[in-house]
Amino acid sequence: MVSQGRTQVGIIGAGPAGLLLARLLKLHGVESVILEQRDRAYVEGRVRAGVLEQGTASLLEEAGVADRLKREGLVHDGIEIVVRDRSFRIDFRDLTDKTVVVYGQTEVTKDLIAARLGGDGPIVWNAANVTIHDIDSARPRLTYRCDGQEHELTCDFIAGCDGFHGVSRQSIPANALRHFERVYPFGWLGILADVPPCSHELIYAKHARGFALASMRSPTRSRYYIQCSLYEDLDEWPDALVWEELKRRLGSEAAARMTTGPAIEKSIAPLRSFVAAPMRHGRLFLAGDAAHIVPPTGAKGLNLAASDVYYLCRALTAFYGDKRTDLLDRYSETALARVWKAERFSWWMTTMLHKLHDETSFEAQMQLAELDYLASSRAAQTALAENYVGLPY
């Protein structure tokens, strides 16, 4: 026997995109059900980045889930860029009068889950075999299996917030979707350690041996990355070797301030740029990683998910409040305009800072010339700062 249900918006995925959309919709009187294939412990335990644009922080405040963010978030006025042991700073506040906040995506997710379970509506954990039906009709359906029983959920709309490997994008007919992709020929070896950061702001380093990044999750927890081959064996990277390489690439000043310690997490992540267009088919709307991926160099992944949610929430509430369909019809076009700008910025940061060519090549000299220009030009620094703190919605 199939258990049947009904909601206004069916949301696939209990990551930040799905949770934030559900929260904002609830505040506007729109009901939703969230289906998540994993359990709560898994979702709340995923380690992700956490540099929030000012617009993302404002959206979380609008959603009423920013209390802990305000207490624990680390406000950053700029970043430091190191090139061959010489550094310069991009001052966001001076250049744009805006800042970013370092607050882990894991913490954003926990805050949103707590708000959801505080009375906003259900999250169906361990929803298996989620399948989308009838997205070209006025009553799309979701079927899934949970607790040994088959379920069917009829919706007005479906929001696909289930990430790059989720079912949502795969449910759009292949002839209705275009994919744009750049796969980078390197990865990031990342370590997380319970040691104080070597700097109060992020450090991006361009080095002959490859890119490096010094970041943090809190005043007592640091996150570091080094550019590496996609085929590295983590067993060949003991903690001591990672710290040695970080000190070499980040430069003498950072090395002198660096506190080392045992890694509590170590992994290698590939880098890619990816966009699926359009972000809507019938009554199915894609948001976040289901529609696009950016390399982490520009700190745009979570922030792009937030801007998608902003546009989609506005479109859905206009439909339910005023019977308007124009914003729904323009959702993909509107969201993609911002997505492509973020893709451009992330691609630019990635290609400028990583080792892509032999140091004696023309291309490598162009990278150094670009960085030299950036170090000496307020206009160039302003362009970087505007994109890093987040373009307006």
| SS3 state of residue 363 | helix
Known catalytic residue at 204: yes
Token code pair at residue 193: 């350690």
Specify whether the CB–CB gap between 180 and 197 falls below 8 A: no
Check 151, 206, 296, 354 and give the catalytic one: 296
| Residues 201, 203: Cα–Cα separation, whole Å | 7
Among 249, 237, 174, 247, smallest CA distance to 211 is for: 249
| Cis peptide upstream of residue 278 (ω within 30 degrees of 0) | yes
Are the CB atoms for 228 and 188 separated by under 8 Å? Answer: yes
Out of 292, 300, 310, 331, the active site residue is 300
**Catalytic: 388?**
yes
Cα separation of 172 and 362, whole Å? 43
Q: Which of 103, 184, 204, 311 is catalytic?
A: 204
9: left (phi over 0), alpha (psi -120 to 50) or beta: beta
Catalytic residue among 26, 76, 207, 354: 76
Rounded Cα distance, 223 and 239, in Å: 13
296 in helix, strand or coil?
A: helix
Residue 16 is among the residues annotated as catalytic for this protein: no
Hey, which residues does 6 pair with through a beta bridge?
154
d(CA 250, CA 269): 20
**Known catalytic residues?**
76, 204, 296, 300, 388
